[in-house]
Amino acid sequence: MEKLQNYINGELVEPLSKCYFDNINPATGKVYSQIPDSDESDVENAVRAAKEAFPLWKNTTKQERSRIMVRIAQLIFEKRDELAAAESKDNGKSLKLAETVDIPRARENFEFFASGILHFASESHQMEDTAINYTLREPLGVVGCISPWNLPLYLFTWKITPAIAAGNCVIAKPSEVTPMTAYLLSKICIEAGLPKGVLNIVHGYGHKVGNAITENDDIKAISFTGGTKTGQIIASKAATKFKKLSLELGGKNPNIIFEDCDFDKALSTSMLSSFANQGQICLCGSRIFVQKPIYEKFKKAFIEKVNQLKISYPSDPDAQLGAIVSKEHMDKVLSYVELAKEEGGTILTGGKKYEMEGEYKDGFYLEPTVIEGLSYTCRTNQEEIFGPLVTITPFETEEEVLKMANSVEYGLATTIWTQDVTRAHRVAQKIESGVVWINCWLIRDLRTPFGGMKNSGLGREGGFEALRFFTEPKNVCVNVNI
């Protein structure tokens, strides 16, 4: 059985403990590879390599850093079929989604920041005829990137690309649930000639490897995407060491549908915002609010469409929903179905494990689920579920829907459906959310600030925000009056 390896100091190496744990294919429930069970000593080796590489990488021209990143992007493109197949197998997502979204975006992340660093400029402030201030931006040194399992290579590369473009050396940890494409990326980095120690990938559990990254004194910043609880642990540990933090955490996003919306567009996009990637995207609109005059019509049409969704094994070209990432996560989502029933909800469709046959009979499949009749304050409507489960709730007025939408601890993404341009902007201003989509969902311009308010995170990723995060500003004040 294939054993994945860490990527440290430019080489593929075993974990020092020589211990591994199982990697499970969620489509079949079967073990198919072995993941390094790395620990603090592997992280220390990686940090040593990164520290050694840093002076050279920092002084490598941005043009050369950019060229190497473009080579990596090109190799991702050339190996896109292998990468997409690996992502789909590791995560359970449909092969089509991996081919059309995950892997193209990983390539784009490299291309985007390879170009972004060439355009990155910093500020200057003139004080009439007294002085000129200019700001230098220098890489931080060694930084940590910790990523989740839902969009594995997509989010892993979203973090490491601005870091290395800005001249930092990186210790990166992919999720132990989906490590495969990060492993394949380490081979690509070797082939592309990325200098040793610039990127180090240490596989293993969060409480071991993630914790060692968070606690290591030589790691100056942490960029993390994942659950809010894990974000809290990281934030509390990093705070005592004054590390810079960028946290992309959970969401409980409202999808607000006003009566004057383009009905067909709102309906078809709501299918995606509810169930894309089996609902395992932090941007999914898991709370659908529909204005009363069109509530029954929307509900009926939505359920009809949900009932037509094809759940299948990930490599089925017609699959619209694949497998849930793990048994543990599937059980978590199912526990929320039970909770919703206890809280008085009616299951309009779904609510059960989806039974497959043959080699897929032990895989982790769930029916897409729609629930109505719940109070907006109940746990089902307040907690992040992160699966193919949405609630649907009627509302009468703009004020009422804003109150319900803003009632959660999260503030990541909102979608607003209306043809009234004034209302769209007014609601966008009043909603507590880092990202607002009007009459669309998940249109991504990588230059825009991306992240959440409230317990959805800290800081913003994307574009120059990310390059600012991974650099230290130093202001220089020049007296021009002598």
Ligand X SMILES: O=C(O)/C=C/C=C(\O)C(=O)O
Active site residues: 248
CA distances to 326, 392, 421 from 289, rounded to whole Å, are 29, 6, 19
The yes or no reply on residue 281 touching ligand X (CB under 6 A) is yes
**φ, ψ for residue 87, nearest 5 deg:** -65, -45
The yes or no reply on residue 148 touching ligand NAI (CB under 6 A) is yes
* Rounded least distance, CB 109 to ligand X, Å: 9
Contacts of 8 (CB under 8 A, 6+ apart): 42, 45, 46, 49, 200, 201, 202
What SS3 class is residue 431?
Answer: coil
CA atoms of 135 and 150, how far apart (whole Å): 37
**φ, ψ for residue 49, nearest 5 deg:** -65, -40
- Token pair listed for 371: 């629930």
Q: Which range touches ligand X (CB under 6 A), out of 9-17, 194-202, 278-286, 346-354?
A: 278-286
Q: Which range touches ligand NAI (CB under 6 A), out of 102-110, 127-135, 226-234, 347-355?
A: 226-234
The yes or no reply on residue 273 touching ligand X (CB under 6 A) is no
Among 197, 210, 285, 322, binds ligand NAI (CB under 6 A): 210
CA atoms of 251 and 457, how far apart (whole Å): 9
- Tell me which of ligand NAI, ligand X, none is bound by residue 287, counting a contact when its beta carbon lies within the kind-specific cut-off of 5 to 8 angstroms: none
Instruction: Give the residue at shortest CB distance from ligand X.
Output: 282
- Tell me which of ligand NAI, ligand X, none is bound by residue 227, counting a contact when its beta carbon lies within the kind-specific cut-off of 5 to 8 angstroms: ligand NAI
Interface with ligand NAI (CB under 6 A), residue total 27
Residue of 148, 145, 160, 157 whose CA lies nearest to 219: 145
CA atoms within 13 A on the CB side of 392: 26
Asked if 367 and 352 touch (Cβ cutoff 8 Å), the reply is: yes
CB of 224 or CB of 258, closer to ligand X: 224
The yes or no reply on residue 226 touching ligand NAI (CB under 6 A) is yes
Residues 170-209 that bind ligand NAI (CB under 6 A): 173, 175-177, 206-207
Residues 242-261 that bind ligand NAI (CB under 6 A): 249-250
Residue of 225, 326, 341, 230 whose CA lies nearest to 278: 326
- Tell me which of ligand NAI, ligand X, none is bound by residue 175, counting a contact when its beta carbon lies within the kind-specific cut-off of 5 to 8 angstroms: ligand NAI
* Rounded least distance, CB 367 to ligand X, Å: 22
Find where tokens 């574009």 sit: 463
Contacts of 50 (CB under 8 A, 6+ apart): 142, 169, 170, 171, 197, 198, 200
The yes or no reply on residue 146 touching ligand X (CB under 6 A) is no
* Rounded least distance, CB 266 to ligand NAI, Å: 24
The yes or no reply on residue 246 touching ligand X (CB under 6 A) is no
The yes or no reply on residue 158 touching ligand X (CB under 6 A) is yes
Residues 419-448 that bind ligand X (CB under 6 A): 444
H-helix or E-strand spanning residue 224: strand 219-225
DSSP letter for 155, please: H
Asked if 430 and 408 touch (Cβ cutoff 8 Å), the reply is: no
CB of 54 or CB of 112, closer to ligand X: 112
Residues that bind ligand X (CB under 6 A): 148, 150-151, 155, 158, 225, 248, 281-283, 444, 450
Residues that bind ligand NAI (CB under 6 A): 146-150, 173, 175-177, 206-207, 210-211, 214, 225-227, 230, 233-234, 249-250, 282, 329, 332, 384, 386
